[in-house]
């Protein structure tokens, strides 16, 4: 297995050395082939995502397949512009001459993907890497085995073997990959593994992008429209059964409107998933028994279950659950939940809510709900987060030209659209000068009038 892994890595390294994606047309062909793969193998991927996560066909298409196709199309539409050299001005004492910033590929990159969106979070970074002219090794998550197997089967059918290689397996294979030198490592997952990735990358001075997570808060003020706020929070929280890095992890609501918001949250859950979400075709399942047990353990506390709370181990099913009377020191408020459990806490004054959020590590996403523009601006100014959506959840990810990434403990580096192209590019500065003129004043000895003139110019 290790020899096969090394052969795969060697093949794409040789591809980078031979500059197989140096030409823009070659990059376009790979992106177009990826789009064709997603169309022609849609049923394969839909089945794999259903097997791994219980995703409905609509959710799997919209959040994984369709999302990636949109990223490909946007990239193809703008690739020529992104790849064009950019002229910059030349100071007077360096004229005559011209200066440009030239994007060039980094080389061969490693993309390590998570299990929660096991198709999109492999392929969306790959779109950016290929667009920038890199070859790539992708490592799908072994925790989503059906999707990993589908990628391993289909990618060699569509993408060039010297452009993209797939390595499957678990911790041993990932460890072997991390021991090797790369031109960039792109990791999506949790902070614990992110630290391992950074330590390994440091051995080779490899640049790293970390897309991590954290406890992304929603703050609902008394100026919010409560029905739409509840519907949008429920949608963002319980999509993919809460297994979304930018899902609202908890809600802080003004105590004046807390009761009404809880009523609307329950109504939205029932509207979306019915009286028994277990029977809903639009509600997913927990990825595996280990994560199921972890989540059920978070329910064994002092909080009050205001909605849901039921769970069936054999089906990896946990109902959409809302908790109240939550102790901020309890386990459910310590680490990212990453499941269908939504704690709701109250505050008396907006400063109290701001202090609560800012006393904790910087989140990947922040969701203020208010129809008071000044209030929204105040919240956005006070809370540092990877990204934010006002009066909705998740949607900032869907804007191709908004960078997606974290800050502080929620990650480093950003991609999507132009930001992904730049992430996987070296922006090389190039100054061009003619052989003549070549005035002697520019060279030693520097004395007298020459020194005075040069001091004025420089």
* Residues marked as catalytic: 211, 245
Q: Are 402 and 416 in contact (CB under 8 A)?
A: yes
Rounded to the nearest angstrom, the gap between the alpha carbon of residue 455 and the centroid of all alpha carbons in its chain is 49
For residues 418 and 421, what is the distance between their CA atoms, to the nearest angstrom? 5
Q: Within 159-277, where are the H helices?
A: 171-178, 191-202, 226-238, 258-273
Distances (CA, A) of 301 to 250, 328, 458: 16, 12, 69
Is residue 317 left, alpha or beta, with left meaning phi > 0 and alpha meaning psi from -120 to 50? beta
What are the φ/ψ torsions at residue 404 (nearest 5 degrees)? -115, 120
For residues 362 and 408, what is the distance between their CA atoms, to the nearest angstrom? 6
Two tokens, residue 138: 């992708």
Q: Are 244 and 340 in contact (CB under 8 A)?
A: no
Q: Is 342 exposed, middle or buried (0-12, 13-18, 19+ CB in 10 A)?
A: buried
For residues 255 and 177, what is the distance between their CA atoms, to the nearest angstrom? 51
Cα dihedral 344, 345, 346, 352 in deg (nearest 10): -130
Q: Are 174 and 200 in contact (CB under 8 A)?
A: no
């Amino acid at each position: 297995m290790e020899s096969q892994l090394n052969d795969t890595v060697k093949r794409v390294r040789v591809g980078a050395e031979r500059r197989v994606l140096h030409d823009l047309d070659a990059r376009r062909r790979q992106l177009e082939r990826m789009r064709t793969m997603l169309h022609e193998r849609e049923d394969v991927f839909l089945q794999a995502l259903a097997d791994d996560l219980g995703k409905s066909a609509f959710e799997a298409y919209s959040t994984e397949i369709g999302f990636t196709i949109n990223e490909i199309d946007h990239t193809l539409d703008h690739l020529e512009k992104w790849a064009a050299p950019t002229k910059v001005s030349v100071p007077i004492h360096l004229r005559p001459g011209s200066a440009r910033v030239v994007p060039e590929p980094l080389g061969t990159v490693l993309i390590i993907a998570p299990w929660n969106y096991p198709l999109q979070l492999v392929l969306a970074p790959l779109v950016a890497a290929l667009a920038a002219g890199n070859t790539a090794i992708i490592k799908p998550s072994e925790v989503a085995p059906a999707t990993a197997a589908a990628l391993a089967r289909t990618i060699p059918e569509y993408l060039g073997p010297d452009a993209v290689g797939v390595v499957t397996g678990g911790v041993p294979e990932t460890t072997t990959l991390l021991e090797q030198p790369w031109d960039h490592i792109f990791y999506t997952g949790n902070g614990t593994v992110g630290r391992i990735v950074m330590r390994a990358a440091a051995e080779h001075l490899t640049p790293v992008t970390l897309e991590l997570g954290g406890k992304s808060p929603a703050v609902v003020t008394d100026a919010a429209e409560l029905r739409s706020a509840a519907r949008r929070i429920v949608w963002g929280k319980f999509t993919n059964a809460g297994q979304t890095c930018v899902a609202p992890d908890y809600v802080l609501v003004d105590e004046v409107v807390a009761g009404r918001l809880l009523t609307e949250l329950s109504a939205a859950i029932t509207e979306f998933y019915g009286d028994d979400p277990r029977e809903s075709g639009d509600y997913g399942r927990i990825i595996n028994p280990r994560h199921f047990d972890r989540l059920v353990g978070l329910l064994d506390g002092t909080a009050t279950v205001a909605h849901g709370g039921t769970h069936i181990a054999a089906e990896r099913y946990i109902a959409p659950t809302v908790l109240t009377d939550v102790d901020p020191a309890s386990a459910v408020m310590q680490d990212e939940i990453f499941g269908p459990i939504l704690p709701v806490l109250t505050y008396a004054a907006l400063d109290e809510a701001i202090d609560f959020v800012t006393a904790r590590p910087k989140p990947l996403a922040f969701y203020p709900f208010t129809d008071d523009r000044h209030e929204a601006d105040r919240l956005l100014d006070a809370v540092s987060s990877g990204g934010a959506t006002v009066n909705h959840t998740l949607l900032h990810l869907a804007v191709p030209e908004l960078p997606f990434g974290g800050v502080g403990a929620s990650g480093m580096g950003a991609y999507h659209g132009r930001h992904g192209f730049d992430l996987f590019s070296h922006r090389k500065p190039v100054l061009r000068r003619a052989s003549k003129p070549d005035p002697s004043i520019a060279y030693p000895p520097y004395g007298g009038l020459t020194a005075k003139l040069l001091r004025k110019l420089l």
